[in-house]
Structure formats: structure tokens, C-alpha cells
Structure 1
Amino acid sequence: MSEKQQYSIPSLKLMENDEWKQLEKSFPPLKNDLLLRAAKGEETPRAPVWVMRQAGRYLPEFLEVRRTHSFFECCQTPSLASTLTLQPIDRYPRLDASIIFCDILVVPQALGLEVLMEPSKGPVLPQPLVTPGDMSRLRQNVDVQKELGYVFEAVTLTRKGLDGRVPLIGFCGAPWTLMAYMCEGGGSKTFEKSKSWLYKYPEDSRKLLRIIADVCADLLVGQVLAGAQMLQVFDSWAGELTPYQFKEFALPPLLHISHKVRHVLSSLGHPGVAMTLFAKGANSPSTFSLLSDPSVTGYDTLGLDWTVDPLEVRGWLGNKKVNLQGNFDPTVLYGGKEGIEREVERLSRIWKRAGGGWIANLGHGITPNVKPEDMGWFLECVHKYSKRD
């Protein structure tokens, strides 16, 4: 099968007459490129640092916006999404990256499923996919410009609002994680509904994962053309799978996303961007070996959660040139100034020994009860202790 047959090309406004080229020229020059250099494997003078969910409920300015706007209203209103993305950058000059404010569940919405954000329960999908027959309710050939164009507008607004201070990261959820939400009807402790699909309906599961992957790839392409300078794919529930299931079900659509994004961008003459995969909990040596070679996977950087040692991971990966991101325990931000500093110093020493490109981050997202001043102190400590000797 040829590449043109294998990868459908999304219809995006910025593709018309290469409008993305003119848009890119209009952005202010980048003043801090540490993140992009680390993602290329450079040992930077210090580790660039950003935090997953850095635009979120721990910030009073975020809560003030949310007081009068619903969650998905914030995601789907470009001016609001841009404002929320910029809040931590405006507050913390030590941050080396921004990530667009959005949610991974906009992809199921684009596919035609209703997604609600309930304060006491989190995301809820009232009509989940129960059997393969329910896949007929999904939109066919999703028009990402129509369904997700608000994300692209938010990216462009944010890139301008950043004024070159730091790079902007675009993102999407991984197909397996999104499938889990779509089958469970929300979050889950057992994942019995979604994982049972893998046993009962293996071929239908692969079909569903491929459908989701196509929309994810088109969403990422659109974000890059709109101004995103790096990409991350969040596989939050990867750790719920056995290593075999990860290889057989989660990995192929992840590879489809990265390969399609690179193919489409290349066909447009775009230089491409670095891509990060954060497969939380997928910490077996066999899984890491599958992800060790960026020339095969298309992912330049792997995000690590807080349950693994960077030195051990480097050993599992061998001599492949994949870069690493992470992996401070998110609860370190509740450890007080002395506890935060002590842990940042300790883990920074380990990361320096691990070598290669390192992007400092938490091993998962920042949690709502963190004090903003403790986040600021964490960033100061990373700047101090991640400096190369």
C-alpha cells in the first residue's frame, strides 16, 4: 500500500495556498529554545522544565475564569483557552514551555459522542460504546477543521500571546486511553468494560483504535500548522494493559499517529516538530525496548512516570537516541521548601548520570491543591540543580 493510500490527508484551512508558511513568518522569534534543543538530544546547560496540567485548578487566576465559564466552554472558546494557557507563563518566568489548554476528550466529541465534565465525577460519556455495533454512532471521515478548528485558533492566538518567550506544545490523547473512556463512559478503577473489548472483540478493537488514531493525527497536524512547536501524546491508561496488550493494541495506533503526522507535514514541505509519547505506567523493559528507537517509532522523547528510575530506563533503552522527560513525583510539591529542594537535588543528580536530552517534568499532572508558591519554588530548584557541571 502506498503512503498516499495509507495516510489520508486532512482538509485544513491552513493548507490552502500554504497559508501556514505565512502564519509561521508572522510569529515573533523564539527567545528560549532549550526545550526544542533537549528534544533533539542535546545536553543543554540545564534541563528545560514544564509541568503537565500547569494551566489548572491550583492557580487562583484559573479558578477565577472557571467561576463564570464551564470547562468545555474554556476548551472550545479560543480566547479563553489562550488566556488559560498563558496564565502559568505570565506567573512563572522559570517555565521553559507552554502547552495549549484543551482536553484529550475533544476527540471523542469530534467523533460524535457526548462528553460532560461533572464537578464531582470528572468526565462522563452518557452513551458509551458497549458493543461493536455502537461504533455505527461514530462520525465517519471526521472533518477536523469543522469539529476541532477552535483548537487551531487557540494555538495561533497563544503563539502570538507568548511573544516568543517559550515554545508552545500541542497534544492529544492516545487511542487506547480514549477508547477506554469511550467504552467505560468515564474514568474507571477496573477498566473491565474497555479491556473486555480486547478479549471479546480484538479485530473490532483494532478498528476502533485506528479510527481514533486518524482523528488524533489530524488534530496534531492542525496544531502544528497553527503554530505548535512540539507535540505530546498522552497515554494515561497505558499501564492498565499487559505488555502483550500494549504491543498488540496500543502500540500500532500510536505508530500510526506519529507516522501520519510526519508524512503529512513532510508532504506540505513543513520541517516537522519533535514528538513526545507519555505512556504512563507502561514500565516493563519489553515495552521500553519497543519505544527505544525514534527512527522507528517517530517519537523523539519518552515521558516517564515517577515509579521508574531514569538510570534503569536508560539501561533498558540501550544506545538508542530517544530522549527522556520526567519524572518527579507530583506529591513532591506538597513536601515544603526543604523537601522539594532535597528531592530536586537528588533526582537531578540521577538524571545527569543518565545522560542524553532531559526535559524536567512531573511524572504525571500537577494536582489541584498545590500552592502556587510551591510550584514556583520547584521551578527555581530545577533551574539550580539541573545545571550541567
Structure 2
Amino acid sequence: MSPPEKKARTEKYKALYDKDFPPLKNKLIFQVIKGEKIHKVPVWIMRQAGRYLPEYRKGRANNEFFKVCQTPELACEVTLQPIDRYGDLLDASIIFSDIMVVPQAMGLVCEMVPGKGPTFPEPIRKPEDLKRLTDKVNVDDSLGYVFDAITLTRQKLDGRVPLFGFSGGPWTLMAYMIEGSGSKTYSKAKAWLYNHPKDSKVLLQKITDVIIPYLVGQLIQLFESNSGELSPQCFTEFVMPYIIQIVDKVKEKTEALGYNIPVSIFARGSHYAIEELSKTKFDIIQVDWTMDPKKTRETAKAKVLQGNADPSLLYGSKETIYQNVEKMIEGFGVKKYIANLGHGMYPDHDPEHLKYYLEAIRDVSSKKLK
């Protein structure tokens, strides 16, 4: 998009910035965070807007993936699809975007390749390649389309549910930027941590410096989806300092603006880090399906937990889904808990089976809260 087009788009939504947004009708997630009384456990789903929905596939037929992300009207339309479909069974929406928008803002080309996923034609291979990255990224300019999509979507939601924004975590983004795409081992990126520890920290800091202003002003989920690839020692050295910096700075900046914005962390596979994460300023810890609910609750203590059914559960029958939801809620309890999956929706999930899952959350938790 050319600079004049960007300016015209932003001006189109600028009038919305100063208006009052519709009052929020569903405050369940905020009530859970505050420890207030609720009538049911709130639930939302990672990747709840996506390829499993026929309405999404129909809309994508004529639009390339990143075009949808970069066009506020299209991103808004996709974000609303699961909210319109499932109604009051969902207690939050999440803006349709992608974690790769941050590397794109930093100057790297990323393409969505069918059958392969996000791909960098010219990834970072050696420390000298860091010079190719944009110095001092102007987030408002480079990622303004995300802010415009959020503004428009908040208007269109009409207060039905809160809207999550999100970003990939520094390590997860670094891994993709070096590997060039997803990987089974992330060996190229992990090799950097051992062979170029100083340059790794330079890159992690560059990414962190973009993420902080990008996340300010949103109900936030930070995805460190590749953290489980690291040893506990590498997690402590190359992940924790940067995600702590992000949550501390985002909290500081939003509180200075008069907002108390909840921040969630998803460090997939990092079961060893739950206790350490529970000592940070993150309000919510999302856990994957490999973690035992009762043990996780004991370790995290008073933190709000979010998760964690195996996404493959949604291939099961209605009865199987209900039974597993009962066990999950029994483990986490109905307080300080937000239901979700242990990761995101799969493209071949049946939308009706997600409905079964959402209904089970509502029915099981409401009975326990009576």
C-alpha cells in the first residue's frame, strides 16, 4: 500500500478514535481477573477466526492472506465471523492478523505459501544480515492497518465481547526470521543462541522494541509458541528477559494513559517455567494440553490460567467432548480460570464440534457455580 493510500485509510478511521466505543456488555474475562463473582467460566479459542469456518474460506477465495490482514474491513469481517456464528457462547474475540506482521514491519518480506505457511524468501542467516532490518520502526505507520482494524472491529462488535490483540513473542519471531519458515527442530535459530549469543540478544531486543508500542492499548495475548523448543536454561536467558520487559513496559505505558490492560502469555511447551511466569506481571498464563490442570494450578497459585484441551478433542463425539470438559474444569476449578484450547483450531475441525465444546464449558461450569 502506498503512503497516500495508508494516509487515506487512517484518516477514514481517525474519526472513530475520539468517539466513545459502545459499552462492553460481556465483562466475564475482566471479572475473572479481578476475582469477582461469575455465572459461568468464560471461553474463547485461539484461531477462532480461520480456515475451519466455511464463511472464512468463502471470503478468502478472492483475497490473499496478508491482504486480509492489511485491509481493516476484511480483517474486521473475519474477526466477527465466529462471534456472529456462536453468539453468547464466546466471551471474547481476537483480531484477525498474524504474528508475522512484526517482521514485515521490520523490513523482511514474508509470504503465505499454500501448504507451507508463512515463508521468508530471504531469511536472516548470519549476524551481518541484521543490518537489513529497519532501524527504529515507526509502528503507527508500519502497523497502522492493525490499529485501524481494531478500531473498526470494536465499533462493529457493539460491545458484545472484548477484543484481544496479540503479537508473537521475540523468540518465536526470531526463530521464524532465521529459519525462513516453520521447522520441526528450529536448529538454525537455536544454533544462533549458542554460536551468536550477543547477536541473538541484539535481534531479540530489536523485536522487543517493536512489540512494546505495538501492544500498548490492547487486551493482549503474547504468543511464545516456539518456547517449548528451548531448554530451561535457554528459556531463562533468551525468553524471560524479553517477555518480562514487554509486560512491564506495556503495563507502565497503558497505566500512564489511565488504562489497566490485562496481558496474557502463552509459552507453549514450557511447563518448567510456570512457577517463574507466575511471578511476573502477566495477568493470565495460557497452558497447552500437555500440562496437567491440577498440577499447573498448584504451581501457578493465584494466577489466572487459560486453556487447555487438546485441539484434537474436537474430532471426538459430543459425549466425548463433554466428558473431557468435565475433567478439565474439575482440574482447573471455576475460579481464576478462562477456558480455551491448548493451542488453536485446526483447518479441518468441524464448526459444530467447537459448538459442542463451547456448550459444554457453559453447562459444566454454570452447574458448578450455582
Q: Same fold (TM over 0.5)?
A: yes
Q: Which residue of 2 aligns with 1:299?
A: 282
Query: How much does 1:256 deviate?
Result: 1.2
Query: How much does 1:288 deviate?
Result: 1.4
Query: How much does 1:155 deviate?
Result: 0.1
Matched, 1:156 2:151: yes
The 2-side partners of 1:254 and 1:282 are apart by 14
TM-score (norm 2): 0.93
Q: How does 1:110-259 map to 2 (within 5 A)?
A: 110-221=105-216, 224=217, 228=218, 230-259=219-248
Of residues 289, 302, 306, the one that matches 1:325 is 306
Query: How much does 1:22 deviate?
Result: 8.4
The 1-side partners of 2:33 and 2:116 are apart by 36
Q: Which residue of 2 aligns with 1:351?
A: 332
Question: Residues 175-210 of structure 1: CA distance to partner in whole angstroms, max 9, x if unpaired?
Answer: 000000000001001111000000001111111101
Alignment-mate amino acid for residue 261 of structure 1: V
Query: How much does 1:343 deviate?
Result: 1.0
Q: Which residue of 2 aligns with 1:262?
A: 251
Of residues 56, 64, 74, the one that matches 1:62 is 56
Matched, 1:275 2:263: yes
The 2-side partners of 1:270 and 1:84 are apart by 30
Is the CA contact (8 Å cut-off) linking 1:304 and 1:326 kept in structure 2?
Answer: yes
The 2-side partners of 1:197 and 1:120 are apart by 27
- Unpaired runs of 5+ residues, structure 1, are 1-12, 14-18
Superposed CA RMSD: 1.7
Query: How much does 1:266 deviate?
Result: 2.7
Query: How much does 1:316 deviate?
Result: 2.0
Matched, 1:79 2:73: yes
Query: How much does 1:24 deviate?
Result: 6.7
Query: How much does 1:162 deviate?
Result: 0.4
C-alpha change, 1:311 and 1:20, in structure 2 (3 Å) is: farther
Is the CA contact (8 Å cut-off) linking 2:254 and 2:261 kept in structure 1?
Answer: no
C-alpha change, 1:157 and 1:338, in structure 2 (3 Å) is: same
Is the CA contact (8 Å cut-off) linking 1:279 and 1:303 kept in structure 2?
Answer: yes
The 2-side partners of 1:359 and 1:266 are apart by 24
Is the CA contact (8 Å cut-off) linking 2:22 and 2:158 kept in structure 1?
Answer: yes
Question: Residues 220-264 of structure 1: CA distance to partner in whole angstroms, max 9, x if unpaired?
Answer: 11xx2xxx4x21000100100001110100111101111111222
Is the CA contact (8 Å cut-off) linking 2:100 and 2:110 kept in structure 1?
Answer: yes
Matched, 1:370 2:349: yes
| Aligned-pair identity (%) | 49
The 2-side partners of 1:203 and 1:275 are apart by 28
Question: SS of the residue aligned with 2:306?
Answer: strand
Of residues 93, 103, 115, the one that matches 2:98 is 103
Question: Residues 352-371 of structure 1: CA distance to partner in whole angstroms, max 9, x if unpaired?
Answer: 2xx64100000000101111
Is the CA contact (8 Å cut-off) linking 1:332 and 1:340 kept in structure 2?
Answer: yes
Is the CA contact (8 Å cut-off) linking 1:44 and 1:357 kept in structure 2?
Answer: no
Alignment-mate amino acid for residue 269 of structure 2: G
The 2-side partners of 1:42 and 1:302 are apart by 18
Alignment-mate amino acid for residue 78 of structure 2: L
Is the CA contact (8 Å cut-off) linking 1:114 and 1:126 kept in structure 2?
Answer: yes
Aligned length: 356
